């Protein structure tokens, strides 16, 4: 059990919040009205599959970079982290009989913190790639293709990978989109066309601003993120193209942490079986990204993987 006060405070807050939700649910006489799927019933016994330290603490510490809607982002109150990762993390934790605590961390510390044992797992819309598997292990739980986010009316006419030649793409550093655009750029040059002009930004917001700004023609994101962003943009942005380069979004686990991987697989199995998994995806409008079964390090088996 760690003695970090913030963690403890979070867990107390989480406990209070879920208690309140439980009361609310009981008062309504129905569990369907609460939005947080994880808090609708008391957690079962702590799963013995989990690493001992997590079992003892009763808390699964999850690192996330809260600037990636709809996966993980700060909610309308300006402080609570919400999103697919959060609901999914809560659901899995509950299935394993523990509480999930989310820590908002920047990308670099997400992975180093995982490696240093500061966090138990990282859930941040991370794409599983063969290259990254050298550093961490992945439990893949969302499968989705990439599409283009373009300004309204698609003035740059970017609706397929080949249409990217000579166009300005504003992308988010560290996402699979950069690899895809670079690979396409090489293809463009080979075919005697202009290369893809790639601008890289640290956050989604910075990258998408360039679309409204008129500096870039398109952004690449997976279907769920693209749909969310275009909806949130109030008509300034839209989705273009058919999904391509299917990839997995995954939970990142410290390399070789077999117990954690087994526990997560079990946890996901449970929530897929009882329907919580599908409910979370539906809540965020990404039900098309569902997997039948989570796989471990499956990233290199998909067409979108890069190495």
Partner 1 sequence: MAAQNEIRAKPVPRPGLWALTVVAVLVAAFLVWTFASSPNVHWDVIANYQFSDAILQGLLVTLKLAVICEITGLLLGIGLAVMRLSSSRVLSWLSGIYVWVFRSVPLLVQLVLWFNLGLLFPHIGIPGTPFVVETNDVITGFVAAILGLTLHEAAYNAEIVRGGIAAVDRGQVEAAQALGMNRALLLRRVVLPQALRVIVPPAGNQFISLLKNTSLVAFIAGGDLLSTAQNIYSGNFEIIALLIVASLWYLLLVSITSFLQGRLERHIGRSSAHSTKPRRDEPAPAAVAGA
The binding site for partner 1 (CB under 8 A) comprises: 107-108, 111-112, 115, 129, 131-132, 134-136, 170, 173-175, 178-179, 199-202, 206, 209-210, 212-215
- What's the per-residue H, E or C state across 188-257? HHHCCCCCCEEEEECCHHHHHHHHHCCCCCEEEEEHHHHHHHHHHCCCCEEEEEEEEEEEEEEEEEECCC
CB of residue 296 to partner 1, shortest distance in Å: 17
CB of 212 to partner 1, least distance (A): 7
Q: In which residue are the tokens 């969302």 written? A: 142
Q: How far is the CB of 202 from partner 1 (least distance, A)?
A: 6
Q: Given the complex with partner 1, which of 209 and 262 has the nearer CB atom? A: 209
Decide whether 82 or 220 has the Cβ nearer to partner 1: 220
* Spatial distance between the Cα atoms of 92 and 76, rounded to a whole number of angstroms: 24
Cβ nearer to partner 1, comparing 220 with 280? 220
DSSP element (H, E) containing 114: helix 107-115
CB of 243 to partner 1, least distance (A): 22
- Please identify, using beta-carbon distances, which residue of 21 and 172 lies nearer to partner 1: 172
d(CA 121, CA 123): 7
- Nearest distance, CB of residue 198 and partner 1, angstroms: 8
**Residues near 296 by beta carbon (within 8 Å), at least 6 away in sequence:** 137, 138, 139, 140, 261, 265
- CB nearer to partner 1: give 87 or 120: 120
């Amino acid at each position: 059990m760690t003695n970090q006060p913030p963690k403890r405070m979070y867990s107390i807050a989480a406990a209070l919040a879920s208690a309140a939700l439980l009361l609310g649910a009981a008062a309504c006489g129905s569990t369907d009205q609460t939005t947080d799927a994880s808090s609708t019933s008391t957690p079962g016994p702590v799963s013995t599959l989990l690493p001992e330290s997590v079992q003892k603490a009763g808390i699964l510490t999850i690192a996330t970079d809260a600037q990636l809607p709809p996966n993980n982002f700060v909610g309308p109150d300006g402080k609570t982290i919400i999103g697919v990762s959060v609901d999914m993390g809560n659901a899995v934790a509950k299935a394993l009989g523990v509480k999930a605590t989310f820590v908002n961390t920047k990308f670099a510390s997400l992975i180093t913190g995982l490696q240093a044992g500061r966090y138990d797992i990282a859930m941040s819309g991370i794409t599983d790639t063969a290259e990254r598997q050298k550093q961490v292990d992945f439990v893949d739980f969302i499968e989705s293709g990439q599409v283009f986010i373009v300004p309204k009316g698609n003035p740059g006419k970017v609706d397929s990978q080949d249409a990217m030649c000579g166009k300005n793409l504003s992308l988010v550093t560290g996402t699979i989109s950069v690899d895809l655009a670079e690979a396409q750029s090489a293809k463009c040059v080979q075919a005697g066309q202009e290369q893809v002009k790639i601008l890289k930004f640290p956050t989604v917001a910075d990258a998408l601003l360039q679309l409204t700004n008129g500096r870039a023609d398109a952004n690449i994101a997976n279907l769920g993120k693209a749909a969310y962003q275009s909806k949130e943009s109030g008509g300034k942005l839209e989705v273009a193209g058919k999904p391509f380069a299917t990839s997995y979004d995954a939970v990142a686990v410290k390399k070789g942490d077999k117990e954690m991987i087994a526990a997560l697989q079990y946890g996901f199995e449970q929530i897929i079986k009882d329907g919580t998994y599908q409910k979370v995806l539906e809540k965020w409008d990404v039900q098309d990204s569902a997997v039948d079964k989570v796989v471990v390090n499956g990233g290199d088996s998909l067409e979108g993987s890069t190495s």
